[in-house]
Amino acid sequence: MGFIETKNWIVDKEREIVPQIEEAAMWIRENEVVAFPTETVYGLGANAYSEEAVAKIFQAKGRPSDNPLIVHIASVVQLERLVDEIPLHAKILIDAFWPGPLTLVLNKGEGIAENVTAGLSTVAVRMPDHPVALAIISEADLPIAAPSANVSGKPSPTLAAHVLSDLNGKIAGIVDGGPTGVGLESTVLDCTTEVPMILRPGGVTREQLEKVIGNVVVDPALEDDGQAPKSPGVKYKHYAPQAKLFLVDGTAAFLQEQVENAKAAGKKVGVLTTIEGVPNYQADVVLPSGTATDLATVAQHLYEVLRKFDEYDLDVIYSETFSEEAVGKAIMNRLTKAAGGDVIKEQL
């Protein structure tokens, strides 16, 4: 359904439950859709037990219905009601990383809406590390299915203003808890395989996981768009700005050469770099996402910068590439998706 006005509840994440959170939780219990902040990005939440409510998520986002959703919980008791069992390694991970940016894929139990899991026998669940998110889930007293609160394909929202820009009039309300922290979505780990498998890199790195449970593998089909996704956010092109994005794997001089060629062809050109890289480029728009010495800052600002490019009516954007160590793996996963896999590689 459409809304004449999407409500905007502004809350202070440092305070206790307030009337705004109570009202937002009431809308979720009434099977409407509400956006709220997590420590990763803003989520678009609905009652995970209601097919009707979850369908409104897909409708608002324009999201393909074969793309499963992550269910957000506020307690392990809620998890126990959602899944068939919790394996030992999953319990160890819960103790180590929850609440936090780690989603666990487990065999589902009874009662969860079929469209949450896209018909799969598994369900993806996490406990967000954000007081507003936890307060809403607790007040609603329901597990909440929540993908990122953006139009499908666009960069995920890290500010309430991003949500309003995409979804005003399409959802019941937005709980504005300020900017998110991590900036990229959670790591998704399949705990139903013999060796736990990363289906989507994110805020918890492979190195961190292996320190706790030992060997972890990365799904070799991560970029295979031809199979049914077990994880949210791995099948379709995501995170893309309006202008065509290319990743440039090479020197700054090689990237600047791409800029000059595009400008000679009459195109308006943007460059995505770091604070240190800004002086290296002469383009119509040069935007930094964090600092090269701390990739966590690149992750934190990446979606905000991708959205910022949309303000300049560009034809093409060239982005630097980043080391795939630690959180760099998640950064490059998102940039590769945003570029539709298009990489320009310098031949040295």
The reply, when asked if residue 63 is annotated as ligand binding, is yes
Q: Is 107 annotated as a binding residue?
A: no
Annotated binding residue at 126? yes
Cα 201 to its chain centre, rounded Å, is: 10
Whether the bond into 99 is cis, omega within 30 of 0: yes
Is 6 in contact with 165 (CB distance < 8 Å)? no
Is 281 marked within a binding site? Answer: no
Q: Is residue 48 part of an annotated ligand binding site?
A: no
Residue 296 among known ligand-binding residues: no
Annotated binding-site residue? 334: no
CA dihedral of 45, 47, 52, 53, whole degrees rounded to 10: -30
Q: Please check whether residue 130 is in contact with residue 13, taking contact to mean a CB–CB distance below 8 angstroms.
A: yes
Q: Find out whether 15 is annotated in a ligand binding site.
A: no
Tell whether residue 205 is among the known ligand binding residues: no
What CA–CA distance (Å, rounded) separates 330 from 250? 20
Whether the CB-CB separation of 258 and 321 falls below 8 Å is answered with no
3-state SS, one letter per residue, for the chain:
CCCCCCEEEECCCCCCCCHHHHHHHHHHHCCCCEEEECCCCEEEEEECCCHHHHHHHHHHHCCCCCCCCEEECCCHHHHHHHECCCCHHHHHHHHHHCCCCEEEEEEECCCCCHHHCCCCCEEEEECCCCHHHHHHHHHHCCCEECCECCCCCCCCCCCHHHHHHHHCCCCCEEEECCCCCCCCCCEEEECCCCCCEEEECCCCCHHHHHHHHCCCEECCCCCCCCCCCCCCCCCCCCCCCCCEEEEEECCHHHHHHHHHHHHHCCCCEEEEECCCCHHHCCCCEEEECCECCEHHHHHHHHHHHHHHHHHHCCCEEEEECCCCCCCHHHHHHHHHHHCCCCEEECCC
307 has binding-site annotation: no
Residues annotated within the binding site for L-threonine are 40, 72, 122, 126, 146, 186
Residues annotated within the binding site are 40, 63, 67, 72, 122, 126, 146, 148, 156, 186, 200, 239
Residues annotated within the binding site for ATP are 63, 67, 148, 156, 200, 239
